[in-house]
């Protein structure tokens, strides 16, 4: 199968940017970088068969991150796979907000990530704050090993990953808390792209009937976990900004701002403990 044939097969399957995805899969099959696929390529028979198999999986709408076992986030190489949400560029908005709130990169912050998933938010933040340390809380049996693996690979001893519920986090302990909770209304999940609806963990997507169940829990929990003047940065879904203002109004937290992602969609909710 040529690169052109692979791109056409992916396009026919409804994949966006089919040629770029085909090149990504070819690089994975060959064990080279994507840039190296721009030159002349003479794959072995085994590599050609492997490439065809990868293309078939992607055409069936399996996420490319699950196929390759990795996804870039904040210029870092994270390991991912079935059972954990695939990192999205939109979530980088939360890291940008953390850098805006805490301009002193040497601050000895104590950070938490509630529902750590693959660990991207905690690990990316600790990369930017070299004197900080933190804990990621992940209850899912399937997602926890990915966060643990990424912390071991990328952060060594400054990131602790706990296989535990958010409610076990110590009180009044954190300067900064991240969370990217489930926020898709339950009834909307079946209508998502097949990559998501058929493959990614519904527990990481399903926010209840209106998509806000996790935020109600966070409104009760965050005031107990944050230090005085502590900050929380939460990812929110499209169309939820106005509801967030109302939900957190009586929580003991002040909504500082809601920042859009690169597509202009309100994405990062910034809260401060009074």
Domain segments of the chain as ranges: 3-60, 70-273
Residue 156 has pLDDT above 80, yes or no: no
Q: What is the pLDDT of residue 40?
A: 63
pLDDT tens digits for range 86-128:
999 999 999 999 999 999 999 999 999 999 999 999 999 999 9
Query: CATH homologous superfamily for 70-273?
Result: Vaccinia Virus protein VP39 (3.40.50.150)
Cα(144)–Cα(116) distance, integer angstroms: 8
pLDDT band at 250 (very low <50, low <70, confident <90, very high): confident
Tell me the average pLDDT of the chain. 94
Q: What is the pLDDT of residue 35?
A: 73
Rounded mean pLDDT, 22-31: 93
Between 32 and 175, where is the model more confident?
175
pTM metric for this prediction: 0.93
Query: Which residues on adjacent β-strands are paired with residue 94?
Result: none
Residue 60 has pLDDT above 90, yes or no: yes
Q: What is the pLDDT of residue 38?
A: 66
Question: Other CB atoms closer than 10 Å to residue 183's CB: what's the count?
Answer: 22
Q: What is the pLDDT of residue 274?
A: 77
Residue 9 has pLDDT above 70, yes or no: yes
Joined together, the tokens standing for residue 224 give 């107990």
Burial class (CB in 10 A: 0-12, 13-18, 19+), 103: exposed
């Amino acid at each position: 199968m040529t690169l052109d044939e692979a791109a056409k097969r992916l396009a026919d399957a409804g994949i966006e940017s089919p040629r770029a995805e085909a090149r990504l899969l070819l690089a994975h099959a060959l064990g080279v970088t994507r840039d190296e696929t721009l030159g002349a390529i003479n794959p072995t028979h085994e590599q050609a068969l492997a490439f065809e198999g990868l293309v078939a999986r992607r055409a069936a709408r399996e996420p490319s991150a699950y196929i390759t076992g990795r996804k870039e986030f904040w210029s870092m190489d994270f390991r991912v796979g079935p059972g954990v949400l695939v990192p999205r560029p939109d979530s980088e908005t939360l890291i940008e907000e953390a850098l805006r709130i805490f301009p002193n990169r040497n601050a000895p912050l104590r950070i938490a990530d509630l529902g750590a998933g693959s660990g991207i938010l905690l690990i990316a933040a600790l990369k930017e704050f070299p004197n900080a340390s933190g804990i990621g809380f992940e209850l899912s049996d399937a997602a926890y090993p990915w966060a643990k693996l990424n912390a071991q690979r990328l952060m060594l001893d400054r990131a602790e990953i706990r296989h535990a519920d958010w409610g076990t986090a110590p009180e009044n302990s954190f300067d900064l808390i991240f969370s990217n909770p489930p926020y898709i209304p339950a009834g909307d999940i079946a209508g998502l792209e097949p990559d998501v609806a058929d493959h990614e963990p519904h527990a990481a997507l399903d926010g209840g009937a209106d998509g806000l169940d996790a935020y109600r829990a966070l409104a009760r929990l965050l005031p107990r976990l944050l230090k005085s003047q502590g900050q929380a940065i939460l990812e929110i879904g499209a169309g939820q900004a106005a509801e967030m203002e109302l939900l957190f109004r009586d929580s003991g937290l002040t909504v500082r701002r809601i920042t859009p992602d690169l597509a202009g969609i309100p994405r990062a909710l910034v809260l401060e403990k009074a």
